[in-house]
Amino acid sequence: MLTGATTTITVISLLLTWGGALQEQSELRPAVIHPKEMVERRFAPSAPEVGEAMPDLPVYDSEGEELRFRDLVRGQHTVVILGCLT
Amino acid sequence: METVARDYTPKGVRFYYLYKALAHPEYHGYITPFTLEERLMHAKEAERRLGSRIPWIVDAMTNDLKHALGYAPNSEFVVDPEGKVVRRRAWSDPDALRADLEELVGAVERPTRVADLDMPTQPPPAPTVATGVVPGVEVAGHMRALRLTPELEGNKYPFYVKLRAEADQSFLAEAEGQIYLGFHLDPLYEMHWNNLAPPLELEITAPEGVRVTPTKLAATTPKEEADADPREFLVRIEADPGQRDPLKLSVLYYACDNANTFCVPVRQSYAVHLTADSDGGSPFSRTAMPAGEGVLGDMDTNGDGTIDRDELEAKERELDVLLEQAPD
């Protein structure tokens, strides 16, 4: 449910953002650019590559206790999905 | 996602949702938190709403993890026991994730279906007072969030009402344009505007080389005794070249809780930096967008060439229906 919600909403937002950009730069108006691709273009060079370690940064559990993200994802297979309320 | 977690948690796979900055502030009334404590409250609210068993962990207020993980709003990663990334994708995809886990740790005999789940999902908080009674501002073109710093030190009260600041493209590109300043009730605190009390007042102090008009504002008071609408303003701004010192804002409002146990005057201050905030997200409403073609054109239901507030809200309702029907 979270995935569907966040993804759908994000796609719409990116479409709107792109719409605004098109008005500002009408001379650069491309025929078709998928908004998901815009996110993927930024993600590809900046996210950890396959084979790389996860970043060693602080993260908080639901009680506010500070943990190290890298430690949290060690020891067994771990899935991390980013999301928010909106 | 929940079905994948139900199947693979017993096989030794750990799952986390990583709570990050809001992608779309104001959607269902949720607004950008100012403190880690408030972000933790958001994560608990997400847990309440989704009814998921997947635990939430929370990014720092500096959004360092979101940046380090590629800035995407809904990405996902699979990490091996040595802590190294074995799969990554910019958009979470439960079907693809299930295929990944089948490959990495083996298939499950009888995959859980959505119909098997009994997730106690909850609706967002509903306003207990009037809404839609204070006309909102409508801006032309796309606006971007501005970075702002609330003065947290020395406050007797939390920021029951939170500022959202945005600038138009004209200001960001040419240092002359409009700034949106919206004061939104934070649903975390269950407050309302008591319209029998004096209205919100705002005073803006511009640094040397920046001109703002007007600098003193007061919110309009609707006929209703109480409401939950944001108090919004548009101001003109012009800055000399290279001038990027922040505006100082001082706001005075009456904070009144929904249980009617207190109603107190609160004065709070902000520095509004004249630079875009890449973590500020973008609200659905407020901006009348050029419709263009494709999906944006489809949203332009009255065919006037722009997507106005009503059309955006119609899209929000359509999305809500889609989300209710989303299989996973």
CB atoms within 10 A of CB B317: 10
Nearest Cα residue in chain A from B11: A77
How many whole angstroms separate alpha carbon B100 and alpha carbon B168?
Answer: 43
Residue type, B246: P
Q: Does residue B94 carry a pLDDT above 70? A: yes
Please tell me the pTM assigned to this model.
0.81
Is ipTM > 0.90 here? no
List the 58-77 stretch of B: residues with Cβ below 8 A of A: 58-60, 64-77
Task: With residue B145 as reference, give the H or E element that holds it.
Answer: strand B143-150
Contact A43 B65 (CB under 8 A): no
pLDDT in tens, A15-43: 444 444 444 444 444 445 576 788 889 89
CA distance B153 to chain A (A): 20
pLDDT for the residue numbered A65: 97
Q: Single out the residue of A70, A6, A23 nearest to residue B328, CA to CA.
A: A6
How many whole angstroms separate alpha carbon A30 and alpha carbon A49?
Answer: 30
pLDDT in tens, B251-288: 999 999 999 999 999 999 999 999 999 999 988 876 54
What's the average model confidence in pLDDT over B69-76? 94
pLDDT in tens, B130-142: 999 999 898 878 8
- Residues in B closer than 8 angstroms to A32, CB to CB, are 294
pLDDT for the residue numbered B316: 52
Confidence of residue B154 (pLDDT cuts 50, 70, 90): confident
What's the average model confidence in pLDDT over B86-115? 94
CA distance B242 to chain A (A): 22
How many whole angstroms separate alpha carbon A16 and alpha carbon A35?
Answer: 9
List the 3-62 stretch of A: residues with Cβ below 8 A of B: 3-10, 12-13, 15-24, 32, 36, 39-40, 42-44, 46-55, 57-62
List the 152-191 stretch of B: residues with Cβ below 8 A of A: 169
CA distance B308 to chain A (A): 11
Contact B94 A3 (CB under 8 A): yes
pLDDT for the residue numbered B313: 53
Nearest by CB to residue A1, choosing from B25, B93, B326, is: B326
